[in-house]
């Protein structure tokens, strides 16, 4: 139970630079149309956004890769996208960000997911989604599984992240095979779940749902403000699923971490919230890096919570700023004990 000092926190952040992280999941393109709102449409009672700028960014599991990259780690993305115009945009964005495409496959039976956000001023007015949500087929699952196994070995992967957006890239068969393979190799697995595969992630190292996902995944409702009730739900879930650590994000209330040794609610810090988009991607990225370094659950939750809060101050889906996170960590954690 030692206090952290500036040097020890900086050393942790420096250690992130040596980590190789495999990210499996639904990748997408986040498209933005920025403009101003000065009038209401005469055709319908809706605002007219006068577009001044358009932009495309990496999103979904690819935003997790961006967060890992900005934290200094080496991310390797594994996913399936469409064989379409969207895929060309996606590969160009990977190239621009200097991210490898060796784990990305194209499928003629799918389309590349694109989420277009229309932003008037600093507020999101509308989102338009282009996507398919059907699971990838058996052949595609086998292809992706084989490539993941090859990359885990060739890239000397330190931690694996499942970034599940329920778009079909992650199947129960893929999960089962990779979890078993990772256990053989003694590689920790971190999961950011969604509803469909919620109970398929048995035996993983760290499982990070938000409150809504936990309630929907377990098909239960409970008073999350009652810490004893939250502990009871968490204990039962961990035992049933054979999970190492459960990390539950609680929006403005912070983050709750629970395993056999630690039960702690880490409060959120007061922020000027602009946009919560992508906050979960940031939380899972920082948590995975902490886990790869075998940091304590309390410190892992604290840094992940801090990172998630910081990106909420930015408009749109943006990765964490490592320098800003380090400065905040040093400022807020000096003298705090583990």
Block residue for tokens 């469909």? 196
Architecture of domain 6-27+59-109+133-333: 3-Layer(aba) Sandwich (3.40)
What was the pLDDT predicted at 77? 98
Per-residue confidence (pLDDT) for residue 325, from 0 to 100: 80
CB burial of 172-189 (b: ≥16 within 10 Å; e: otherwise) equals eebbebbbebbeeeebbb
Domain ranges of the chain: 6-27+59-109+133-333
**83 given a catalytic annotation:** no
DSSP string, 81-141: EESSHHHHHHHHHHHHTT---TTEEEETTS---EEEEEEETTEEEEEEEE---SPP-HHHH
Tens of each residue's pLDDT in the chain, 338 residues? 355 677 888 999 999 999 999 999 999 999 999 999 999 999 999 999 999 999 999 999 999 999 999 999 999 999 999 999 999 999 999 999 999 999 999 999 999 999 999 999 878 899 999 999 999 999 999 999 999 999 999 999 999 999 999 999 999 999 999 999 999 999 999 999 999 999 999 999 999 999 999 999 999 888 878 889 999 999 999 999 999 999 999 887 889 999 998 898 988 765 554 445 557 888 999 999 999 999 999 999 999 988 887 866 665 556 777 888 888 888 876 544 44
Rounded Cα gap, residues 237 and 27, in angstroms: 28
How many other CB atoms sit within 10 Å of the CB of residue 136?
A: 23
The pLDDT of residue 75: 98
- Rounded distance, CA 322 to CA 69, Å? 10
d(CA 219, CA 312): 28
Tell me the sheet residues that pair with 104: 79
Nearest-Å Rg of the Cα atoms of the chain is 20
pLDDT at 330: 84
Q: The whole model's pTM is what?
A: 0.91
Q: What distance in Å separates the CA atoms of residue 17 and residue 72, rounded to the nearest whole number?
A: 4
Please state, in angstroms and rounded to a whole number, the distance separating the CA atoms of residues 28 and 21: 19
Among 30, 158, 192, 281, which one carries the catalytic annotation?
Answer: 281
- Render 220-285 in DSSP notation, one character per residue: ----TTSHHHHHHHHHHHHHHHT-SEEEEE-GGG-EEEESSS-EEEEPPPP---S--TTHHHHHHH
């Amino acid at each position: 139970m030692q206090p952290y000092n500036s040097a020890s926190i900086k050393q942790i952040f420096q250690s992130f630079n040596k980590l190789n992280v495999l990210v499996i999941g639904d990748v997408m393109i986040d498209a933005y149309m920025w403009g101003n709102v000065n009038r209401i449409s005469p055709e319908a009672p809706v605002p007219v956004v006068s577009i001044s700028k358009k932009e495309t960014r990496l999103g979904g599991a690819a935003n997790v890769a961006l967060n890992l990259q900005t934290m200094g780690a080496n991310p390797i993305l594994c996913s399936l996208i469409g064989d379409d115009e969207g895929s060309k945009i996606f590969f160009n964005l990977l190239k621009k960000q200097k991210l490898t495409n060796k784990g990305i496959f194209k499928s003629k039976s799918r389309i590349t997911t694109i989420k277009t956000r229309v932003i008037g001023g600093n507020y999101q007015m509308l989102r338009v989604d282009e996507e398919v949500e059907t699971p990838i087929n058996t052949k595609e699952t086998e292809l992706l599984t084989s490539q993941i196994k090859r990359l885990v070995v060739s890239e000397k992967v330190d931690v694996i992240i499942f970034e599940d957006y329920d778009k079909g890239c992650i199947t129960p068969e893929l999960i089962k095979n990779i979890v078993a393979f990772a256990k053989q190799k003694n590689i920790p697995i971190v999961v950011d779940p969604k509803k469909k595969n919620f109970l398929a992630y048995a035996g993983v190292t760290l499982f990070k749902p938000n409150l809504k996902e936990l309630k929907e995944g377990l098909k239960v409702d409970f008073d999350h403000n009652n810490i004893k009730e939250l502990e009871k739900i968490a204990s039962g879930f961990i035992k049933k699923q054979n999970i190492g650590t459960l990390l539950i994000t609680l929006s403005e209330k912070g983050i709750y971490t629970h395993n056999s040794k630690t039960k702690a609610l880490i409060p959120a810090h007061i922020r000027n919230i602009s946009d919560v988009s992508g906050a979960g991607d940031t939380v899972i990225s920082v948590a995975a890096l902490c886990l790869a370094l075998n940091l304590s659950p309390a410190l892992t939750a604290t840094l992940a919570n801090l990172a998630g809060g910081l990106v909420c101050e930015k408009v749109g889906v943006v990765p964490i700023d490592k320098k800003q996170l380090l400065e905040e960590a040093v400022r807020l954690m000096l003298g705090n004990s583990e």
